[in-house]
Structure 1
Amino acid sequence: MENLLTKDIVEKYGFRFSKSLGQNFLIDNSVLMDIVNSANVTEEDTVIEIGPGVGTLTRELLKKAKKVYAIELDSDLIPILTEELKEFDNFELIHKDALKVNFNEIIGGEKNVKLVANLPYYVTTPIISRLLNGGYNFDSLTIMIQKEVGERIAAEPDTKEYGSLSILVQYYCDIEVIRKVSPGSFVPRPKVDSIVLRLDKLKNPRVDVKDKDLFFKIVRNSFNMRRKTLWNALKSLKLPKETMETAFSNAEIDPKRRGETLSLAEFGRLSDCILDLS
């Protein structure tokens, strides 16, 4: 069932979509409610929404949450959101680029914080990376993103989708695929399918590593050129040959393997063994 509110608001204000901002507004009410319900927002929760559009999803979140902060970059949407959501005293609009926002300033001392967003495709990976690497106090991230990116996030080792993004998200989160979303659920229609994921932050990272920065550096280097063996990919670390030989031996990992075959635990083991010897 279509959500007429989105189309009505777009028409009411004569809003023009921006291709450069990757704007595709959700018009399918069943998807909208699936996002809201899977985010499991309660009156104890503070919600941060990135890219609220004309506020259709925001409105539903405001009905459930203690407070909703909506971060919107497009100046043309600010007066629309201000007017359409003026009835809610638990709404705060932040006119900024989500990639430059200090989320700790928004979160403050709040303990129950959830992020909900229909993320523009072009900023999906940088925003997810920033939210997870920043150590922010989120309980969960319920996001609608490009299906291809969602499949990479949830991918298992030894598949073509598996890569550094898979490891980043799985290091910090449990992943639940909520549903797939067709292009017809948006206006204007995107050229690709979308997917809704819920990422629940783990209390502790999935693997315990001695040096997180080194761990992720090894992961990135291992996937920079996927067809390279680990031995060749990790030459960029510029460590002595003997050190690397011993590290691989101690980690019980064949240096002829490719990065895409290693589990998080194996990357963690290799990282710790390299650290111990360098």
Structure 2
Amino acid sequence: MSESVKSLLAKYGIKPKKTLGQSFLINGSIAEEIVIAAHLSIDDTVLEIGGGLGTLTRRIVPRVRKIYVIEKEKTLAIALRDLLGESENLEVIEGDALDVRLPAANKVVANLPYSISSPITFRLLDELRFESAVLMYQKEFAERLLSPAGSRDYSRLTIEVTYRAHVERVRNVQAKEFYPVPKVDSTVVRMTPRTSGSFALDDTVFHWLIRGIYSYPNKQIRKALKIWFRNLRYDDETSEKLIKRCQGGLSGNERLRELSLDELVTLSDSVFETIEDGMLRDPRSNPK
């Protein structure tokens, strides 16, 4: 399989770009496992981002009603059309996945370009109404998505993603399964939009709060709120009043990194009530 990828790259004059971290999956068994993990059916419409040489694409095509592949590199888009051009249910969209209009799809399957992991993840979660997504990330990035509250890798990224979706590990993939061999291992996850559990009274307020306080993940809530409010030109008394609104759910002495999603929602709802009472400016009119 490695030689096949190398020969295809040579055939189409494609030189993997190190600056973009381009590497191509060469293990067909792993590609098959990724596609199986997506639980595809003939009624599905799939979006793939970064089709490459079609390692995933050619396995998806016979399983679904329609597949859209967004490919930024012109030479790779040409290769995809040439290699799989006879597939009537395949449409290759040439362009940047961060800029082009995302076609409607109920499933996403992709070995994501690692250089855009964060922005493309949030674009998918915020703009595409999908049932599930099976996505490959750099292992370090994936570990942050999967980290529990209180762990070293638990971060603003973890919170912002897990507020929107449930994330589970499918498998790890060693660097040797790619060509050229990257410096890092990868991880495949399954992401399912969250429909149950705690949700904030207002999503905009929740995200505003997380952006404001999560620059200080190791500080106690009380101290992080005071720093944030000082930056917003409010006095320390405002943070104390806000903590009291949590009705015993939080003392203010907990460290941010240790707060569960439910506890952050409780804090967000206290911020929302404080805004409604006119004690804080409303980020919905000016979210900056």
TM-score (norm 1): 0.91
Give the corresponding residue for 2:123: 130
1:223 aligns with one of 194, 214, 218: 214
Give the corresponding residue for 1:245: 240
Give the corresponding residue for 1:74: 73
- Residue deviations 1:223-267 (CA, integer Å, cap 9, x gap): 213333323323324344333212212323232332111111111
CA distance in 2, matches of 1:258, 1:219: 14
Aligned 8 A contact 2:12 2:75 in 1 = no
Equivalences for residues 101-112 of structure 1 within 5 A: 101-103=100-102, 106-107=103-104
Distance 1:67 1:3, change over 3 A: farther
Equivalences for residues 53-92 of structure 1 within 5 A: 53-92=52-91
Segment of structure 1 superposing worse, 138-147 or 224-233:
224-233
CA distance in 1, matches of 2:148, 2:214: 14
CA distance in 1, matches of 2:109, 2:24: 15
Q: What 5-or-longer segments of structure 1 have no aligned partner?
A: none
Deviation at 1:156, TM superposition (A): 0.5
Deviation at 1:16, TM superposition (A): 0.8
Aligned 8 A contact 1:62 1:90 in 2 = yes
- Residue deviations 1:181-228 (CA, integer Å, cap 9, x gap): 000000011101100000012235x42211111111222233213333
Aligned 8 A contact 1:48 1:68 in 2 = yes
Give the corresponding residue for 1:39: 38
Q: What 5-or-longer segments of structure 2 have no aligned partner?
A: 276-288
CA distance in 2, matches of 1:200, 1:58: 21
Give the corresponding residue for 2:258: 261
Deviation at 1:172, TM superposition (A): 1.9
SS at match of 2:19: coil
Please tell me the residue identity of whatever aligns with 2:260. Answer: S
- Rg: which structure is higher? 2
2:223 aligns with one of 197, 207, 232: 232
- Residue deviations 1:73-102 (CA, integer Å, cap 9, x gap): 111212111111112000001011111122
Give the corresponding residue for 1:187: 179
Instruction: Tell me whether 1:196 sits opposite 2:193 in the alignment.
Output: no
CA distance in 2, matches of 1:207, 1:271: 11
Please tell me the residue identity of whatever aligns with 1:271. Answer: S
CA distance in 2, matches of 1:270, 1:162: 18
- Residue deviations 1:21-61 (CA, integer Å, cap 9, x gap): 32111001121011100011111000000000011211101
Aligned 8 A contact 2:216 2:256 in 1 = no
2:198 aligns with one of 192, 207, 221: 207
Deviation at 1:20, TM superposition (A): 2.8
CA distance in 2, matches of 1:63, 1:193: 29
SS at match of 1:99: coil
Instruction: Tell me whether 1:152 sits opposite 2:151 in the alignment.
Output: no
Equivalences for residues 165-176 of structure 1 within 5 A: 165-176=157-168
